[in-house]
Structure 1
């Protein structure tokens, strides 16, 4: 698997720094965390289950973080933005399919709102100023993008992007895209729960485990110790 190999090599290249940092409360990743403000616009819970889709780099870390958020009942890695015929790992890795590596998050809005998930996403998952890349991964398939599944979610996402742009938390402009949802296609089984199954893999240890630790430190009210896994 070419992309898996590149991930492992990228992690190995960072080991001199990564292993010195991982394990402490102040662990850093390739992307610094930002304490994003609470969203000013939210939506009332009208059901006990919603689904939202997030793209923010390699789906291993995106899935791994959301699996530790209280109120999330499912987080599945997959592809969004292209057509069914190109929704395979090898084709998406070519970077020309329109797909983004993404995660479909199902959650109970009575426990955690879509607005709170957005706050987690911008705080510890994605660098919204990186265009068509995240950390060591380059290509449109690693873009930072939101795929709302309802008009209410779109309204909250649009308002929060405006709020964050006005707050100027990052030194560069926000390039996170708000895209219409076409369809979501789950990734192969060996990519599901990857962070939980391979926490010591160099790529995961350096790029993604610090994000999970940041979630626990920054948002203890949203933290769940046992992740909700695709494979149970």
Structure 2
């Protein structure tokens, strides 16, 4: 095992262990010098009891530090291996209400899709984030295709009309169908133009209230995230400044 794995790239752990190693090295050298000079010590005036006492101190200190050093190494190694082998810790589950709020409010996923996601992964936040990222990317691609079908992108037929309708809905959330029709300057008796745009599913017509809204929260989120792509930032007919929620 690499020393970097054992110490987990932590300088404090390394310094603590290295200091223990130096201490151990000191006592081993002291023990070695004591044994090497033992004949001279025996010939000196030091008593046998003093010799045995000093020898026991060196021996016990060396053993203690050796055990301590080995224990520290094993603890650090065990922690490093457990982090390397074990799967990443998962944040505890969150409630259904919290999950729905996260998916709908934070990730701008429509309510029906959010319910399906919760049933699929429950409240496991890491899995919710992963799935939400995939859904978000897929949804944005689908919505961009809808805007292209509605001919709202730059240099497309209904680009200017689309900007006026979008800005009106960003301000009031819904508008009367007659106001929506008025955006189409050249609409004929069959109202083919506005019906063509409604058919692209960027907007939704509500018969009960005779109003038009965005087709979903995802559509509104796409608009706010791609205002430059839609040319909303340079709309001279609107004083509205788009900001992301």
TM-score above 0.5:
no
User: Which protein shows a greater Rg?
Assistant: 2
User: Which of the pair is proportionally richer in strand?
Assistant: 1
TM tier, smaller: under 0.3
User: Which of the pair is proportionally richer in helix?
Assistant: 2
Higher RCO (CA-CA < 8 Å; seq separation 6+): 1
